[in-house]
Amino acid sequence: MKAEPSAVGKTAGAGRPRDPRIDAAILQATVDLLVEIGYANLTMAAVAERAQTTKTALYRRWSSKAELVHEAVFPATASGLTAPAGDIAADIRAMIGAARDVFTSPVMRAALPGLVADVVADTDLNSRVMQRFAGTFVTVRARIVDGIVRGEVQPDVDPDRLVELIGGSTMLRMLLWPNVNSTTSGWRRRRPSWCTGPPSSSDARTRLHHGESKSSGWFALRIACADVTLTDPRSTVATNPSARTVALGSAIGTTIEWYDFYLYATAAALVFKPLFFPNISSTAGTLASFATYAAGFGARPLGALVSGHYGDRLGRKTVLVIALVGMGLSTFAIGLLPTYAQVGLIAPALLATLRLLQGLAVGAEWGGAALLSVEHAPPGHRGLFGSFTQLGSPAGMLLSTAVFYVTKTVTGGEAFLAYGWRIPFLLSAVLVVVGLVIRLKLTDAEVFTRVRDRGDVVRLPVLEVLRTQPRNVVITTALRFSQIALFVLLTTYSLTYLQDSSSAGSQVGLTAVLIASAVGLISTPAWAMLSDRVGRRPPYLFGALAGLIALTLFFVAAGTGSHVAIVLAIVFGVNVAHDAMYGPQAAWFGELFDTRLRYSGASLGYQIGAVLSGGFAPLIAAALLVAGGGSPWLIVGYFAVLTVITSTAAYFARETHLDEIGETR
């Protein structure tokens, strides 16, 4: 939608008396559209249509778009910033934080840059806007003057000059980098040089006397304890301890979740057919076993819906704790299930029910864990930090495969079917306790807590993201198709295929998956780090195309029965093709949505894609193998379609690696 000219300077007609109800409807429509489409795309016609009035009615009231937006986004009276009674530096820090709250609301973020650009040519409006800015810092000046009277501030300090430097640098920082949410970034907790007390010669300070100033560096004003710097915050590479703790906690928590989830996948391929579906043919038993596996995927979007709602309203941490407990209990219960031989049809019914509970938990898990890591990540490193959540998948696969491998080797064939398969599921209880201890120590990121504390949370975030950002939901869903299908086919379906259709046997498949999982602990963050440098799209496109080659190589290798070739094909498919997509995924998905809707949007795309592709991939592959008379090339054709879908989505998705992960999109 093309923006209308601002018509700056145009005088509104007197017209008939204004109806306050129409005024309110127009102003509300302006606010809503600013958040939805931004200032550049806002038109008077669009506002009139939303407010159910006419453009003529708008122009009778406001002479231009800039005039309308100015009245809509600024409060009727300047927001007073209450000066708390305390230390002068702490008071000013608090007041600057309050000023930032005024100017970084979602609607102000959408309006301010364009509005400032449009009012330059309108002297009257320019003056009114500048008065709004100046009014915000009136209390700061009053506190400085009060500090001079009390003897807290040196008497030769010029309050107006100091307010100009503090207010100007703060406002410019918000205009240039509105999505960087550190309200006290660079505002050191030491006494300023303009405060009374002995100065420190080790600090580069700006003495603010009447008419005297001294700067220290481009875009930097070192105001003593304030150190209010305009250095681009994206240039920092420092990693704060909380970010590292959150990344580690997310990795451990998701490892436990995926350990539980993959236990079922491995058991579905190796033992569930004879234990829970013994009275049907081998092919039908395989299909039934994978159908219950798919049921877990089917429940994931529901888990994403519920968790997205509460995760965007209450916080990421709360939902993650509930998800971990739910997964642990359902997995432990699977280890206690009776078999078909003991209770008949009740056994597979209970198995499917518990698998659904696993799906709900996993649907809730990924979004919260990924967003905690991404939202805590330092600028320029979101791909890397987001990949720590992704490490849970190869680590969980490695752990579950290793436990199954050792259990099967130690107990042997008959004992493994009799009781050995239960051991990995029962061990989940120990891991969940460890995960809970870690997860309870995590905290939500500031970018989210600021939204929650301001009361800007959306009442129904799932509906809102589907209404305002459907394109991103569709794109994230499609981005999952090739990635998750490739992983499921090479790590789960491959075991059944090697066992039933290849001379190699399933043991070599387990070995290959074990190796690929171990390598994934390195390849996943490596691809994520690359995406921080070159963007999310290039590695994703490469991975999608390489996946088609990898799956073809796997079926060729399985046909030869060569153990080495099978292992190489699976490792190439998982660690080169799959991880090139999976590594950057958490950061890319999170960056596509704004903070208020991020849990809902990212989780929906992630989990719907998992259902439509990953959940049915082994089931479809098994059916296509039968339809092809034992030939796997129909499976390759099916995967080629998924590759085209994912590649198209990656091509059209917005490149986000240089974006700030702010509150609005």
Task: List pLDDT tens digits, range 59-70.
Answer: 888 888 888 888
Q: How large is the average pLDDT for residues 237-242?
A: 47
Which is nearest to 268 in space by CA: 283, 246, 287, 290? 290
Q: Does residue 8 carry a pLDDT above 50?
A: no
Q: What is the pLDDT of residue 285?
A: 65
Q: How large is the average pLDDT for residues 257-285?
A: 77
**81 φ, ψ (degrees, to nearest 5):** -100, 110
**209 φ, ψ (degrees, to nearest 5):** -95, 180
Q: How large is the average pLDDT for residues 544-565?
A: 95
Cβ(490)–Cβ(573) under 8 Å? yes
Decide which of 129, 147, 177 is a domain's last residue.
Answer: 177
Q: Cα 568 to the chain's mean position, in Å?
A: 33
Q: Does residue 17 carry a pLDDT above 70?
A: no
Domain co-membership, 605 together with 503: yes
Would you put residue 12 in left (φ > 0), alpha (ψ -120 to 50) or beta? beta
3-state secondary structure at position 153: strand
Cβ(614)–Cβ(482) under 8 Å? no
Q: How large is the average pLDDT for residues 80-97?
A: 63
Domain co-membership, 263 together with 399: yes
Decide which of 177, 206, 224 is a domain's last residue.
Answer: 177
CA–CA distance, 436 with 257 (Å, rounded to integer):
11
Give me the residues paired with residue 157 across strands.
209
Establish if 187 belongs to a structural domain. Answer: no
Between 133 and 509, the higher pLDDT residue: 509
* HSE (side-chain half, CA atoms, 13 Å) at 527: 31
Cβ(465)–Cβ(593) under 8 Å? yes
The encoded tokens of residue 579 equal 């991880």
Question: Residue 330, Cβ neighbours under 10 Å: how many?
Answer: 24
Q: What is the pLDDT of residue 542?
A: 98
Q: Does residue 278 carry a pLDDT above 50?
A: yes
How far separated are the first and last CA of the chain, in Å rounded?
17
**206 φ, ψ (degrees, to nearest 5):** -105, 115
User: Which has the minimum average pLDDT: 33-37, 199-203, 625-629?
Assistant: 199-203
Domain co-membership, 275 together with 160: no
Domain co-membership, 173 together with 253: no
Cβ(481)–Cβ(297) under 8 Å? no
Domain co-membership, 628 together with 509: yes
Q: What is the 3-state secondary structure (H, E, C) of 535-586?
A: CCHHHHHHHHHHHHHHHHHHHHHHHHCCHHHHHHHHHHHHHHHHHHHHHHHH
User: Which has the minimum average pLDDT: 296-300, 496-500, 559-563, 610-614?
Assistant: 296-300
Q: Does residue 126 carry a pLDDT above 90?
A: no
Q: How large is the average pLDDT for residues 269-294?
A: 72
The encoded tokens of residue 88 equal 């002068």
Q: Please, which pLDDT band fits residue 85 given cuts at 50, 70 and 90? A: low
**CATH code, domain with 167:** 1.10.357.10
Q: Does residue 655 carry a pLDDT above 90?
A: yes
Domain co-membership, 501 together with 415: yes
Q: Select the highest-mean-pLDDT range: 35-49, 107-121, 376-390.
A: 376-390
Of how many residues is the chain composed? 665
CA–CA distance, 408 with 263 (Å, rounded to integer):
13
Domain co-membership, 524 together with 434: yes
> pLDDT above 70 covers what percent of the chain?
77
Q: Select the highest-mean-pLDDT range: 203-217, 326-340, 495-509.
A: 326-340
Q: What is the pLDDT of residue 301?
A: 84
Establish if 14 belongs to a structural domain. Answer: no
The encoded tokens of residue 222 equal 């070192």
Q: What is the pLDDT of residue 137?
A: 66
Q: Does residue 212 carry a pLDDT above 70?
A: no
Between 179 and 279, the higher pLDDT residue: 279
Q: Please, which pLDDT band fits residue 661 given cuts at 50, 70 and 90? A: confident
Question: Residue 56, Cβ neighbours under 10 Å: how many?
Answer: 12
Establish if 657 belongs to a structural domain. Answer: no
Q: Does residue 79 carry a pLDDT above 80?
A: no
Establish if 242 belongs to a structural domain. Answer: no
CA–CA distance, 370 with 366 (Å, rounded to integer):
6
> pLDDT above 90 covers what percent of the chain?
24
Q: How large is the average pLDDT for residues 201-222?
A: 34
The most distant pair of C-alpha atoms in the chain lies apart, rounded to whole Å, by 93
Domain co-membership, 543 together with 416: yes
Q: What is the pLDDT of residue 230?
A: 36
Establish if 104 belongs to a structural domain. Answer: yes
Cβ(386)–Cβ(370) under 8 Å? yes
Q: What are the pLDDT digits (tens) for 352-394? A: 889 888 888 888 888 888 888 888 888 789 999 999 998 988 8
Q: What are the pLDDT digits (tens) for 432-474? A: 888 888 888 888 877 777 777 777 778 888 899 999 999 999 9
Q: Please, which pLDDT band fits residue 77 given cuts at 50, 70 and 90? A: very low
Between 397 and 556, the higher pLDDT residue: 556
Establish if 190 belongs to a structural domain. Answer: no
The encoded tokens of residue 526 equal 């490596």
Which is nearest to 55 in space by CA: 17, 2, 4, 112? 4
The encoded tokens of residue 544 equal 């999608």
Give me the residues paired with residue 209 across strands.
157, 212
Q: What is the pTM of this model?
A: 0.61
**CATH code, domain with 312:** 1.20.1250.20
Cβ(619)–Cβ(287) under 8 Å? yes
Q: Does residue 39 carry a pLDDT above 70?
A: yes
Establish if 460 belongs to a structural domain. Answer: no
CA–CA distance, 70 with 51 (Å, rounded to integer):
17
Domain co-membership, 263 together with 143: no
CA–CA distance, 390 with 480 (Å, rounded to integer):
13
Q: Does residue 643 carry a pLDDT above 90?
A: yes
Which is nearest to 447 in space by CA: 646, 605, 595? 595
Give me the residues paired with residue 212 across strands.
209
Q: What is the pLDDT of residue 187?
A: 39
Q: What is the pLDDT of residue 472?
A: 95
Q: Does residue 211 carry a pLDDT above 50?
A: no
Specify the DSSP class assigned to residue 121: G
Q: Does residue 531 carry a pLDDT above 90?
A: yes
Q: What are the pLDDT digits (tens) for 319-347? A: 888 988 998 899 999 999 998 889 888 98
Domain co-membership, 374 together with 516: yes
Q: Please, which pLDDT band fits residue 104 given cuts at 50, 70 and 90? A: low
Q: What is the pLDDT of residue 110?
A: 76
Residue 529, domain extent = 249-452+467-652
Which is nearest to 259 in space by CA: 324, 337, 188, 207? 324
Domain co-membership, 164 together with 272: no
Establish if 191 belongs to a structural domain. Answer: no
Between 195 and 14, the higher pLDDT residue: 195
CA–CA distance, 533 with 536 (Å, rounded to integer):
9
Question: Residue 276, Cβ neighbours under 10 Å: how many?
Answer: 25
Q: Does residue 96 carry a pLDDT above 50?
A: yes
Q: Please, which pLDDT band fits residue 307 given cuts at 50, 70 and 90? A: confident
Mean pLDDT for the chain?
78
Q: What is the pLDDT of residue 51?
A: 87
**88 φ, ψ (degrees, to nearest 5):** -60, -45
Give me the residues paired with residue 229 across strands.
220
Domain co-membership, 363 together with 498: yes
Q: What is the pLDDT of residue 152?
A: 74
Between 499 and 157, the higher pLDDT residue: 499
* Count of domains forming the chain: 2
Decide which of 155, 177, 199 is a domain's last residue.
Answer: 177
Q: What are the pLDDT digits (tens) for 144-202? A: 787 777 777 777 777 777 777 766 666 666 555 555 444 444 433 344 444 554 443 33
Between 332 and 98, the higher pLDDT residue: 332
